Chain A
Amino acid sequence: MGNALLQYATVLVLSIFVGIEIIAKVPSILHTPLMSGSNAIHGVILVGSMLVLGGATTHLQEVLGFLAVILATLNVVGGFVVTDRMLEMFKAKKPQAPKANDEVAS
């Protein structure tokens, strides 16, 4: 028991450092997509929700687990789709040829 807890704590501490390290230098244009993307990633609670509903033995647990799976799916799917939509906009700049100063009209 104690061993498992220690192992989880190790993973926790290392993840904290990775999380901080990864974000350190991000341009402010990307703050919003980054927030939205990490929002989708914590949707991994869907895995937890599935396990809880899959292990449910009473009606109360079934109801709670069912709700959890719905909410978590909203989080995952909505999160990824919104983020993709934001980032799609960033790509749209590409087709524009390098700025020619004379006649770009219409």
Chain B
Amino acid sequence: MSRETLIDLLYLFSATTFVLALKGLGSPKRARLGNMVAAFGMIVAVGATFFKYVDGHALHHVGLIALAMVIGFIVAVPTARYVQMTAMPQLVAIFNGVGGGAASLVSITEFVHVKATHPATYVALEVLLGVLIGTVSFSGSAIAFAKLQELMTGRPITYPGQQILNGVFGLGALALIVAILIQGSTALLWILLILAFVLGVAFVLPIGGADVPVLISLLNSFTGLAVAASGFTLGSNLLIVAGTLVGASGILLTRLMSKAMGRSLANVLFSAFGSVVSAGPGAGAEERSVRSGSPEDVAVLLSFASRVVLIPGYGLAVAQAQHVLRELAEVLEGKGVEVFYAIHPVAGRMPGHMNVLLAEANVPYEQLKEMDEANLELQTADVALVVGANDTVNPAAKDDPSSPIYGMPIINADLAENVLFLKRSMRPGFAGIENELLYNPKTTLVFGDAKDTLTKVVAAVKSA
């Protein structure tokens, strides 16, 4: 067996591990194993590549390759290991962005390289698509990162004629690609690179913070496609398989995610969701009164309940209050109160984010109920305790057709006998929409940092 055949077989092995890994990641039991299988496949592929011949000679610059890998490794491991769990979405965004950047760089380098040797047209087309998609993914992810990290406003940034201008950027990029195919000019390639960069930024600016996770999933899919394009350029089946798998599954995943929010993908991408602070019926919202209570009030209410539903949201994670919340649940259970958590599919900043945060606090898996099941249970619950959630319990999604979140499935906290809201302030949630539930006569608000409040509640329940 020749050396190239052996390497190709190893690549085939890697491609197989990727398929199996994606399959495994779809089931809670095999997910972790699946991820490890893919990592192993990746090591095999990278190892085999060191022995590959390019243009009839062994790899040049092996030292440089190793050095670059060491640099990447040294930066990536601590970042991925020690960043707060709450910052996970940003992290995925940035790792996706650099992947897109790498795909773009590979395509550019190959363009420069191929132009010197044999510029066949079809090669150039995928090269240009790789540059375009990879760069859009890179700059788009960078803006998504900035939005989630709150380096810039999470609100949609809009200006008149935005969609038209974006359309012009897009068409301009395609026109440039045609021009480069005809002319083969390297100068035009740099212009394409800049235009693609601007396009990525312009595309992401009007997307509000609450929708950014869906966007990251889409950009993830884009990077996959850029990698597949590089696979065509380099003649690598492995890159084509892996890139296309991610591209195709990513698009589907993006649709599933926007469906979980009750909206269409087009609505997520183009509606500048959350830019209008709801001008609905509550025009005089500021004037209306709310009922607020102390942690001790909460403790009394909870201690005498027989059934309590905890509804956590992103605010819980920000306040790092998941451990105290679990303690509260345990204390209450000790008193014979039935407790469980109601998890909205998009609670937190990404689907499943809340499950991860609660699992980190050792909340038993059986106490986590998904939305539909939770809504059934809520009808017979005495208390719904909302901690740092807002939009996911907003009844406007059910009753107010003028509300931007109308149609999104929510957790019906208002079904419970009493609703307790732990909030930092009256500020609306991430999507910037007023919440009617706050003014409901059943509702008691407790202002303050969720962790402080919960600590006080736990103490009060214990002494009660």
Contacts and interface: CB of A to CB of B under 8 A. Distances in A.
Interface stretch (B229-237, B385-393, B443-451): B229-237
B362 interface: yes
Interface stretch (B41-49, B280-288, B296-304): B41-49
Contact of A48 (B32, B95, B106): B106
A75 B361 CA distance: 28
Given A24-B252, A77-B72, A45 B352 contact: no
Contacts of B32: 84, 87-88, 90-91
Given A42-B223, A50-B65, A75-B96, A64 B105 contact: yes
B76 interface: yes
Interface string A21-62: 011111111111111111111111111111111111110111
A78 B26 CA distance: 20
B101 A71 contact: yes
Interface residues of B, number: 122
Contacts of B31: 30, 33, 37, 87, 90
B456 interface: no
B250 interface: yes
A42 B99 CA distance: 7
A31 B113 CA distance: 39
**A contact patch SS:** helix
Interface in A68-102: 68-93, 96, 98-99, 101-102
A30 B113 CA distance: 41
Given A30-B31, A41-B245, A54 B105 contact: no
A48 B239 contact: yes
Nearest to B50: A50
Interface string B17-35: 0110111011110011011
A104 B243 CA distance: 48
B366 to A, nearest CB: 6
B76 A78 contact: yes
Interface in B400-442: none
20 contacts: A5-B232, A8-B231, A18-B19, A29-B351, A30-B28, A31-B352, A33-B31, A35-B220, A35-B250, A39-B95, A40-B42, A42-B220, A44-B243, A49-B105, A52-B234, A53-B64, A53-B65, A78-B79, A99-B366, A104-B330
Interface of A: 1, 4-5, 8, 11-12, 15-20, 22-58, 60-62, 64-93, 96, 98-99, 101-106
Interface of B: 14, 18-19, 21-23, 25-28, 31-32, 34-36, 38-39, 42, 45-46, 49-50, 52, 54-55, 59-62, 64-65, 68-69, 71-73, 75-77, 79-81, 85, 88-89, 91-92, 94-96, 98-99, 101-103, 105-106, 108-110, 112-113, 116, 120, 122, 213, 216-217, 220, 223-224, 226-228, 230-232, 234-250, 252-253, 256-257, 260, 330-331, 333-334, 336, 338, 343, 345, 350-353, 355-356, 359-360, 362-367, 370
